Amino acid sequence: MTEQPTILTGIRANSELTLGNFLGALIPMVRLANTHSNNYHINIFTPDLHSIISDIDGELQQNIIKSLKNYLAAGLNLTENVHFYRQSHVPAHSELCWILNCVTSMGDLNRMTQYKDKSDGKDSVNVGIFDYPVLMAADILLYDAEYVPVGEDQFQHLELTRRVAEKFNKQYVDIFTLPVEPKKQVEFMQVGEAIRIRDLQNPEKKMSKSTKSENSKIMLTDTPEQVKKKIMSATTDSVGKISFDMFNQPGISNLLQIDALVNDMPLQDVISTWSGETHYGDLKQKVAEDVAAFLGEFQRKLATISDDEVLTLLQKGEIYANEVANAKLLEVQKAFHLR
Ligand code: TYM
């Protein structure tokens, strides 16, 4: 069943998605799926167990359906090889997570930046936040996924997955396929640079759903007016000349990267067009128009997709996912003499 290799990704559905989620993971997945689904399995799942590490608002079910609709609206072509499923509907994820907990070191998890960020300044932190990357490793290793299109903020978790799999393969039985290292993932995605869409107001940071300031993030539901207002007020720098330099000019570089991604153009071409220009306002204007057009097209398609379409895909996908995941889990259980 898994003779073909797998490309896999997941996006938490806690709320509406940002342009960062969309450009960092969803669009790359759709493009890879549309070009590779003849010879790869394409696994698109909702990590709903990952969602509950933080407060959820009672709309999780609806948000899961909405978040999966986004792939269809973004142009995903459905073939026999495209599989949609929910993590909590495939119990092997939780069981493999527990087993991998017994292989993973506390030291490794302590080093995870996301854990440090999410626990910073809090008196009490739930164990789920700490263990989050191990569940993510289980999500990937159950399906022998080679490619995992994710934004740059998830690369550390991908490296951890590789380390845990390698340790397991050496200590027990060689059964896990290691996902390809992040640098090669970026090459495979053909996006030029690892994708980290920045906060528009504070471009040192990534654009995040949880940021309070509305002007910092573009949501997929934003109107053209909102997009324009947010991009025109984006923080830039005092250098006065456009160049792609994430270190010294993160705000400008962010806009160049966004423009390349929404136009499906090589980043280098966008950089060549704008390098040396001095009117930041012109660049902002162009990016605002391009993002508004891109989102407008997307929102029009989204309105035509029904909940039933997604539910039918989930029913079929979850049969496939359980078969593949249970077969892999059984191999792992045998390695531990649990079966
Ligand atoms: P999550 O839900 O936080 O984010 C979903 C995806 O969006 C990407 N992303 C970004 N990319 C570029 N710029 C940004 N500003 C930006 N913000 C978010 C993330 O990198 C991610 O790819 N742990 C994952 C979910 C997950 C998963 C998995 C992914 C669970 N298991 C297995 C792949 C494979 C997460 O929290 O993503």
What atom in ligand 1 is closest to the CA of residue 136?
A: 31
Average pLDDT over residues 274-299: 97
Q: Which of 122, 167, 205, 209 is flagged as catalytic?
A: 209
Question: CA 76, CA 30: separation in Å to the nearest integer?
Answer: 5
State residue 118's pLDDT score.
87
- Catalytic residue check, 167: no
**Residue 262 alpha carbon to ligand 1 centre in Å:** 18
Question: Would you say the CB of residue 50 lies under 6 angstroms from ligand 1?
Answer: yes
Question: Binning pLDDT at 50, 70 and 90, where does residue 147 land?
Answer: very high
**What string of DSSP letters covers 134-195?**
HHHHHHHHTTTEEE----GGGHHHHHHHHHHHHHHHHHS-S-PPPPPPHHHHHHHHT-SS--
Beta-carbon contacts of 90 under 8 Å, excluding residues fewer than 6 positions away, are 45, 142, 318, 321, 322, 325
What atom in ligand 1 is closest to the CA of residue 157?
A: 23
Phi, psi of 84, deg, nearest 5: -105, 135
Q: Which helix (H) or strand (E) holds 10?
A: strand 6-10
Residue-wise pLDDT tens digits, 34-54: 999 999 999 999 999 999 998
- Catalytic residue check, 328: no
- Any bridge partners for residue 83, and if so which? 43
The reported pTM is: 0.94
Looking at per-residue pLDDT, the higher value among 121 and 297 belongs to 297
Question: Would you say the CB of residue 203 lies under 6 angstroms from ligand 1?
Answer: no
In the DSSP assignment, the letter for residue 26 is I
Pocket test for ligand 1, best of 19, 53, 154 (most atoms within 8 A of CB): 154
- Catalytic residue check, 66: no
Strands 145-147 and 82-86: unpaired
Nearest CA, atom 36, ligand 1:
12
What atom in ligand 1 is closest to the CA of residue 50?
A: 30
Pocket test for ligand 1, best of 21, 131, 246 (most atoms within 8 A of CB): 21
Question: Would you say the CB of residue 153 lies under 6 angstroms from ligand 1?
Answer: yes
**Residue 122 alpha carbon to ligand 1 centre in Å:** 23
pLDDT at 1 over 70: no
What atom in ligand 1 is closest to the CA of residue 150?
A: 22
**Residue 256 alpha carbon to ligand 1 centre in Å:** 21
Q: Provide the percentage of residues in the chain whose pLDDT is more than 70.
A: 99
**Residue 278 alpha carbon to ligand 1 centre in Å:** 34
Can you read off the two tokens belonging to residue 272?
Answer: 């060549």
Taking all residues of the chain, what is their mean pLDDT, rounded to a whole number? 95
Question: CA 235, CA 199: separation in Å to the nearest integer?
Answer: 9
> Residue 123 in 3-state DSSP?
coil
Q: Which of 206, 217, 230, 284 is flagged as catalytic?
A: 206
Question: CA 48, CA 58: separation in Å to the nearest integer?
Answer: 13
Question: Binning pLDDT at 50, 70 and 90, where does residue 2 land?
Answer: low
Q: Provide the percentage of residues in the chain whose pLDDT is more than 90.
A: 91
